[in-house]
Amino acid sequence: MKIIITGSLGNISKPLAKTLLAKGHTVAVISTDQNKQTAIEALGAQAAIGSVTDVGFLTATFTGADAVYTIVPPNFAAPDPIAYYEQIGHNYREAIHASGIKRVVLLSSWGAHLAEGTGIIVGSHRVEEIFKKIEGVAITFLRPCSFYNNLYHYVDTIKNTGFIATNYGGEDKVVWVSPKDIAEAASEELLRVSGQVVRYVASDERSCNEVAGILGAAIGKPDLKWLASSDEQVNATMKQYGVPPLMAGLLTELNAAIRTGLMRQDYDLHQPAFGKVKVEDFALEFALAFN
């Protein structure tokens, strides 16, 4: 099969490309960065340099392929982040229709079943709604839970304050996922998807206090705590550090949805088997970044 991967050499796209290449498939990786071409080709993949904002480029790249893995690249500078999601979703729909591609895996998110109340994840919901209207294409809506990699955002906070803090924490339970487990799930779905299906991806489930203890032990801070701040405090802090007000509000709402359990309502009805990478495994990677 010839498979197109969006997301350049990101935390999911790179291991996904490696997995598919190892199985003997032809892989093309889309990247906006011309400097990534050499690294992409070094994997054994083809480099397609261009942007997902360019429908013509997407159509030409998708044409002749058997399957495509699609993501909406993060864009924290977008004036309206939800509108940005919708625009990229429409671009993909046009390119999928025009190119005749028949298998698609969309990287979405847990919480994407909801049209409101989940902050930036409302963007994922709207992209799913756009994709649901694509006829004659087998689509998997891949819904990973909270990324382990988001925990890297707390490295400086831990160094400066000695604790983790956001507007969820303490004994709040969170379902975590490794990009490696997401890549494995994506590779399976690209090769077997039929109809329109939803697949959740998760690696482990722990309370915030448990995660703090595991990370703390790995970095030599066994008393590390994860404190829960108010929505107002977190929103104000993000804006203080330069996050645009609209994005700060969306991220605060997302965190609140994790705290209240809103994010996991549909996940709890369709829980998958956990992947391979546990919190203890991620903690070893976290320690390398921390030190």
Residue 193 and residue 65 share a domain? yes
DSSP conformational letter for 142:
E
Residue 263 and residue 119 share a domain? no
Residue type, 71: I
Name which of 266, 246, 252 is nearest 114 in CA terms.
266
Within a domain: 162: no
What percent of the chain clears pLDDT 70, i.e. is strictly above it?
100
Residue 186 and residue 86 share a domain? yes
- 33-38: list long-range contacts, CB under 8 Å, 24+ apart: 33/8, 36/8, 36/9
Residue 212 and residue 107 share a domain? no
Parent domain of 278: 205-290
Per-residue pLDDT tens digits for 237-260: 999 989 999 999 999 999 999 999
pLDDT at residue 39 above 90? Answer: yes
Measured CA distances, 63 to 101, 194, 291 (Å) = 7, 20, 45
The predicted structure's pLDDT at residue 77? 84
Residue 94 and residue 235 share a domain? no
Within a domain: 10: yes
Measured CA distances, 222 to 176, 215, 244, 289, 290 (Å) = 21, 8, 34, 17, 14
Per-residue pLDDT tens digits for 135-170: 999 999 999 999 999 999 999 999 999 999 999 999
Core vs surface per residue 181-210: b (16+ CB within 10 A) or e: bbbbbbbebbbebeeeebbbbbbbbbebbb
* Band of pLDDT at residue 210, cut at 50, 70 and 90: very high
Residue 187 and residue 68 share a domain? yes
Q: Which helix (H) or strand (E) holds 47?
A: strand 46-49
Within a domain: 171: no
Within a domain: 167: no
With a CB cutoff of 8 Å and minimum separation 6, the contacts of 214 are 206, 279, 280, 283
Mean pLDDT for 30-35 is: 96
The predicted structure's pLDDT at residue 262? 97
With a CB cutoff of 8 Å and minimum separation 6, the contacts of 160 are none
With a CB cutoff of 8 Å and minimum separation 6, the contacts of 241 are none
pLDDT at residue 69 above 80? Answer: yes
Contact of 207 with 171, CB cutoff 8 Å: yes
Query: Radius of gyration over alpha carbons of the chain, in Å?
Result: 19
DSSP conformational letter for 229:
P
* Band of pLDDT at residue 192, cut at 50, 70 and 90: confident
Both tokens of residue 43? 């994997």
Residue 131 and residue 94 share a domain? yes
Q: What share of the chain is helix, strand, coil (3-state, %, to 5)?
A: 50, 20, 30
- Ordered alpha helix ranges (H), the chain: 13-22, 37-43, 55-62, 81-99, 121-132, 155-161, 179-192, 208-219, 231-240, 245-260, 265-269, 279-290
Domain CATH code at residue 120: 3.40.50.720
pLDDT at residue 49 above 90? Answer: yes
pLDDT at residue 100 above 80? Answer: yes
Residue 212 and residue 228 share a domain? yes
Within a domain: 282: yes
Residue 210 and residue 183 share a domain? no
Q: How many domains does the chain have?
A: 2
The predicted structure's pLDDT at residue 194? 81
* Band of pLDDT at residue 26, cut at 50, 70 and 90: very high
Residue 42 and residue 183 share a domain? yes
* Band of pLDDT at residue 40, cut at 50, 70 and 90: very high
The predicted structure's pLDDT at residue 76? 81
pLDDT at residue 98 above 90? Answer: yes
Within a domain: 161: no
The predicted structure's pLDDT at residue 28? 98
Other beta carbons within 10 Å of 33: 12
Residue 124 and residue 244 share a domain? no
What percent of the chain clears pLDDT 90, i.e. is strictly above it?
96
The predicted structure's pLDDT at residue 195? 87
pLDDT at residue 193 above 80? Answer: no
* Band of pLDDT at residue 53, cut at 50, 70 and 90: very high
Taking the alpha carbons of 91, 52, 252, 201 in that order, is the dihedral positive or negative?
positive
Within a domain: 156: no
- 23-32: list long-range contacts, CB under 8 Å, 24+ apart: 23/187, 23/191, 25/1, 26/1, 26/2, 27/2, 27/3, 28/2, 28/3, 28/4, 28/61, 28/65, 29/4, 29/5, 30/4, 30/5, 30/6, 30/58, 30/61, 32/8, 32/73
Within a domain: 152: no
Residue 196 and residue 55 share a domain? yes
